[in-house]
Amino acid sequence: MAKKLYIETVGCQMNVLDSELVVGSLRRQGYELTQEPTEADVILFNTCSVRQHAEDKIYSALGRLRYHKQRHPSKILGVLGCMAQKDQALVRRRAPHVDIVCGTGQLARLPELIAEVERTGKPQLALSLDRKAASRTEVEQSFESYDPLRDPSMRPSRFQAYVRIMIGCDKFCTYCIVPQVRGPEQSRRPDHIIWEVQQLAAEGCREVTLLGQTVNSYNYRLGDGRHTRLSDLLIRIHDTPGIDRIKFITSFPRDMSEDLLDAVRELPKVSPYLHVPVQSGCNEVLKRMKRLYTVEYYQEMLARCRERIPGVAISSDFIVGFCGETEASFARSCDLVATAGFKNSFIFKYSPRPGTKGHELFTDDVPEEVKKRRNNDLLAIQNGVSLADHLARIGTKVEVLVEGRSKTAFKHDSSTGPIQLTGRTPTDHIVVFEGNERLIGQFVTLAIREATAFTLFGDVVIEEQVGVEQNGSQRFPAAPLEISVPRVSLPLI
Ligand code: SAM
Ligand code: SF4
C-alpha cells in the first residue's frame, strides 16, 4: 500500500511553491497525499518566520500531534522551511517529537532524510550555513535553489504556476528575517528558468508568476561580462508558445529600472501590475527600517511607473507600529495611502524578530492595541481608495483568466447551470461572475457591473460569441469557450 503524506504550508508564495515541489518529489517516491494528518506516514509543516504569529501556529499544530506521535512512533514528523532554518535547536527543544528539521536551502535532501529516519529512528537535521558563519560563497553554496521536476497535478491550478527566478535577499531591512532564513541573493540561470517555463506550458499552464524576494533585482551574470536582467528574461519568456500571461512579484522600489518598465509596457503578455511595498510613509521610520529610499523617492518612482506603463496597477505592503513610530509618523503612512492610489495594500503589525538588526538596535515600543488600531485605520483608508478604483471600472470590459469557483459557488448546484466563478484581470483585480464551470482555466471577457472595495462583479460578454443562442436560457455554449470567446486586450483605467 502506498505511504501517505500530509503537508501544511504557512507563509508566502515561495513557501507555496516549495511545498508543491516537495509533494511532487515525494509522489515520485510513491507517496500519496492525504488531507488528514493522523492518517499520514509522513507529516510535514512548511513554516514561515516573518511574523511571530506564523511560528505560534506551527508550535500549536506540533503540540496537537505530540500524543499521536507517542502512540505511533514510526510516523515521521518534519518541520521544513524558514522556521527550521532559523530555530533548529528551539524546534527540537519545544517539540522533541519532531524527526526532521530541514531548512529552505536543503529541501532537495528531504527524501534522503525521511529514508534515514526510517532506517535509524534518529532525528535528522539539514540546514544551511548561518550568514555570518562562513564566506559568502560557502553560504551561497549551502543555500541551494530547490527546483526539481514539476508535477502538474500538485499545483493549486493546472493552468497557473509560480516559477522561482531567484532565492535569498541581500537588502537586510532591519525588521526582516528573510535574509537569514533564505540566504544570500542568488539569481537562477536564465536557461533553466526558460526550460521550466516551457515544461509548464507543455503541461497546459497558461500563466506564470515569477518569484523573488526582490524580483526586479534579478541579474544573472554569465561570467563573460554579459548579464541577464529581469527585462531580458521577460522578453525570452514572452516567446514561449502556450504562455499567455506573465506576472512577477515582489519588486523593490530602488530597483525599478527603466528597461523593466519598458518591457512591461511593450510585452502584451506581461501583466501591467506591480507589487512594490513601501512599508511606511515616514522618512524617519524608513531610515530605521533601512529601506534605502525616502517617501519622495518612492513617490517619484510611482509617477515613473504610471507614466511609462499606462493603466498599471500598483499594490503595496505597510508595517504599522515599527519601533519609534509616533502618531505623527503613522499619520504620514495614512497620507501616503490616501494619495498614492494603491490597488490594494497588505498591512502588517510589526512583529519583532530575534536575529534582525531591528530587534538588536530598537525597542518594540508601540503597544499591541495601538498597532491593532493603526492597522485597522490604515486598512479603512486603503479600502476607501480601493473602492474608488473599483467603482471607476464599472462599465468597462476586462479580460480575466478564470481561476475557479468563488467561495459562495458551493451554495449553487453546478449541474443545473451557471455557477459563481472568479477570475483575475491582468491588473490583478478579482472579478466574480456567473458562468459554466468549464470556463475554469480559460480567458473570458467580462463587462463590469458592480463593485465593492474588494471585488468587481461582471457578466460574460456574449454578443461576440459564435453560435450561441441568446435567449437567456442558454447563455453558455456547449463547446469550451476557448474557441468561441474572442480575447480583448487591456489595459484600461
Ligand atoms: N521582499 C519583499 C519586500 O521587500 O517587499 C517582502 C517580503 S516579506 C516576506 C513580506 C512582507 O512582510 C513585507 O513586505 C513586510 O511588509 C512584512 N514583514 C516583514 N517582516 C516583518 C515583521 N518583522 N513584522 C511585520 N511584518 C513584516
Ligand atoms: Fe525582507 Fe527587505 Fe529583503 Fe524584502 S527586501 S525580503 S523586506 S529584507
Does the structure show a pLDDT above 70 at 469?
Answer: no
| Whole-number pLDDT of residue 150 | 83
User: Mean pLDDT throughout 45-60?
Assistant: 95
User: Mean pLDDT throughout 69-80?
Assistant: 95
pTM of the predicted structure, to 2 decimals:
0.91
Contacts 24+ apart (CB under 8 A), 472-480: 475/418, 476/418, 476/435, 476/436, 476/438, 476/439, 480/438, 480/442
| Whole-number pLDDT of residue 487 | 28
User: Mean pLDDT throughout 446-451?
Assistant: 97
User: Mean pLDDT throughout 313-331?
Assistant: 98
pLDDT band at 474 (very low <50, low <70, confident <90, very high): very low
Report DSSP state, residue 279: B
Ligand located closest to 279 CA? 1
Residue with cell string 496537537: 64
- Beta strand segments in 82-153, E: 100-102, 124-126
Predicted confidence (pLDDT) per residue in 160-206, tens digit: 999 999 999 999 999 999 999 999 999 999 999 999 999 999 999 99
- Residue 60 three-state SS: helix
Q: From atom 5 of ligand 2, which residue's Cα is the shortest distance away?
A: 171
Predicted confidence (pLDDT) per residue in 215-263, tens digit: 999 999 988 889 999 999 999 999 999 999 999 999 999 999 999 999 9
Residue with cell string 511606511: 280
| Whole-number pLDDT of residue 102 | 96
pLDDT band at 131 (very low <50, low <70, confident <90, very high): confident
| Whole-number pLDDT of residue 466 | 45
pLDDT band at 409 (very low <50, low <70, confident <90, very high): low
Rounded distance from Cα 336 to ligand 1 centre (Å): 18
Pocket of ligand 1 (CB under 6 A): 12, 50-51, 175-176, 178, 213-214, 250, 252, 277, 279, 317, 319, 348, 350-351, 353
Percent pLDDT > 70 in the chain is 92
Does the structure show a pLDDT above 50 at 478?
Answer: no
Distance of CA 326 to the CA centre of its chain: 31
Q: Cβ atoms within 10 A of the Cβ of 360, count?
A: 9
Q: What are phi and psi of 355, to 5 degrees?
A: 105, -10
Tell which residue, 441, 423, 434, 446, has the closest CA to residue 472.
Answer: 434
User: Mean pLDDT throughout 137-144?
Assistant: 89
Query: Which atom of ligand 2 has the smallest separation from the CA of 177?
Result: 1
Q: Cβ atoms within 10 A of the Cβ of 151, count?
A: 16
Rounded distance from Cα 238 to ligand 1 centre (Å): 29
Q: What are phi and psi of 407, to 5 degrees?
A: -60, -30
pLDDT band at 58 (very low <50, low <70, confident <90, very high): very high
